[in-house]
Amino acid sequence: MTSRDRASQGLHPLAPRRRTVVKAAAATAVLAGPLAAALPARAADEAPAFLHGVASGDPLPDGILLWTRVTPTAAATPGSGTGPDLEVEWVIALDKSLTTVVAKGSVTATAASDHTVKADVRGLQPATDYWFRFSAGGTDSPVARTRTAPAVDAAVPGLRFGVVSCANWEAGHFSAYRHLAARSDLDAWLHLGDYIYEYGTGQYGTRDTVVRPHAPAHEILTLADYRTRHGRYKTDPDLQALHHKAPVVAIWDDHEFANDAWSGGAENHTEGAEGTWTARQAAARQAYFEWMPVRPAIAGTTYRRLRFGKLADLSLLDLRSFRSQQVKTGNGGVDDPDRTLTGRAQLDWLKAGLQSSDTTWRLVGNSVMISPFAIGSLTADLLKPLAELLGLPKEGLALNTDQWDGYTDDRRELLAHLRAHAIRNTVFLTGDIHMAWANDVPVDAGTYPLSASAATEFVVTSVTSDNLDDLVKVPEGTVSAVAAPLIRAANRHVHWVDTDRHGYGVLDITAARAQMDYYVLSDRTRPDATSSWARSYRTRSGTQKVERTYDPV
């Protein structure tokens, strides 16, 4: 069969804190250069190459989305807008040697889509491992594994997902991806946002040390810029390895666009001097769908729903495209019912999906923390960097305005809906905050635990992006030893918080419980960083509460 995918072309645009450091103009000039400098040298007449690996995503019971980017000529680097059209063939098989072929086809790579291609393959068997490869001009891509979702009505004994967020290229190496790729038990992996960062070299936290410079070196603003940045990320060997091992399910957060993005702008965007927000948002959106194995979903965004048999469904949110602007202070504005995080249509869609679900578990891919957060009695030296991470006013107001705390009416409506309809086993899977958390989600945090918990939440830390000890510039673990007890004392629904370490999570689900195993890295700046288990928390079916377990899976 033949497929010519145009999903990544001609996408329609949808309808914070200003930079905390001055642009490093001199450093940018020194480090500037095209992405081609980061890629292997190629002769002008060399055959096409697959320099950015291959990937798959959005598994269905009968299908999978395949992705690659082909470099047809040496000059046709990401964002260049140059290079000839090229026919790219794909094949998918039941074995790694690709002898038992079940489907094949072709798609045309063009400069209009930055020579990225997708094949949305259907007619596959549920809960089945497949291997696939692309070919063009006599060159073959690597062979990669993928997996379809279980049948809709299948009684699934268990599921296992890697869970990651917040990968700043300049701050370190992506060892978290390497360690997940080394596993052989993942049905898929979830990326909960900030797959890329928009800043220029030296403009965003790295403990004052750029481990490896961005491309382009300047802050990304145009379609060419966003394409080039995505291309740089896709050269990372650990990221390629994970994409080669299992399908990804991804949502975007703010840094795929600009820091603290909202529907009409972003903290890290100056209207006029940096073009219009409408144009920048459209460029970021187009590059994202070109470079990610993600199907454009409802209204051309990333909110959509996947199902994994009768065990779990996964509602994936877009919490940037429709939100009102973040408030600057913690006055009554956060409770204004006219302000929204989700947008009316998305909130109604989420509520209806949670209510109608007939699966054991209702997972929600959620880019910003839904659990309420009060700072408590933090010392002044910790308050300022913590405020920087959370988007709080640095004067010390205990309000997390970029998260659900800044949009309390949406949260109140959603949690009331869960309680009113006795919707159980809702688990929010969250990134963004650069710390690891295990939380109950209380209906009323002020009276908890005497009042009810409506859901639970597992928050994963960052892959490399600065967390609290990086901002304070003290040895790892120093801040968490002081801050974690104070945070828990002021937030009785928080069972655990690790403010200091980088890593990833592994979510393991059975009918009896949903469990998150938290893993931490030895050193984000080292390409050979080791990984170790830190903690495990689970929620038992029907409880809506988190408990610690000493049994990593």
User: Residues 104-115: pLDDT tens digits?
Assistant: 999 999 999 999
**CB-facing half-sphere around the CA of 80: CA atoms within 13 A:** 18
* Predicted pLDDT at 22: 25
Q: Where in the chain is the domain with CATH 3.60.21.70?
A: 159-549
pLDDT for 374 equals: 79
Domain with CATH 2.60.40.380 in the chain: 25-147
Is the pLDDT at 232 greater than 90? The verdict is yes
What integer is the mean pLDDT of 215-236?
Answer: 98
**Mean pLDDT value of segment 452-459:** 98
Quickly state the pLDDT bin for 328 (edges 50, 70, 90).
confident
Q: Which of the 8 DSSP states describes residue 275?
A: B
pLDDT surpasses 60 at 27: no
End-to-end CA distance of the chain: 40
Topology of the domain comprising 159-549: Purple Acid Phosphatase; chain A, domain 2 (3.60.21)
Percent of the chain's residues with pLDDT above 90: 76
* Confidence tier at 542 by pLDDT (50, 70, 90): very high
Phi, psi of 534 (to 5 degrees): -110, -55
> Binning pLDDT at 50, 70 and 90, where does residue 391 land?
low
Question: Tens of pLDDT along 254-279?
Answer: 999 999 999 999 999 999 999 999 99
Distance CA 222, CA 284 (A): 8
Q: What is the pTM (predicted TM-score) of this model?
A: 0.89
Peptide bond into 449 cis (omega under 30): yes
| Tokens standing for residue 338 | 């006219």
Contact criterion met (CB below 8 Å) for 354 and 413: no
The mean pLDDT value for 535-543 works out to 98
Say if domain 25-147 classifies as CATH 3.20.190.10: no
User: 62 and 123 in contact (C-beta within 8 Å)?
Assistant: yes
Please state, rounded to an integer, the average pLDDT across all residues of the chain: 89
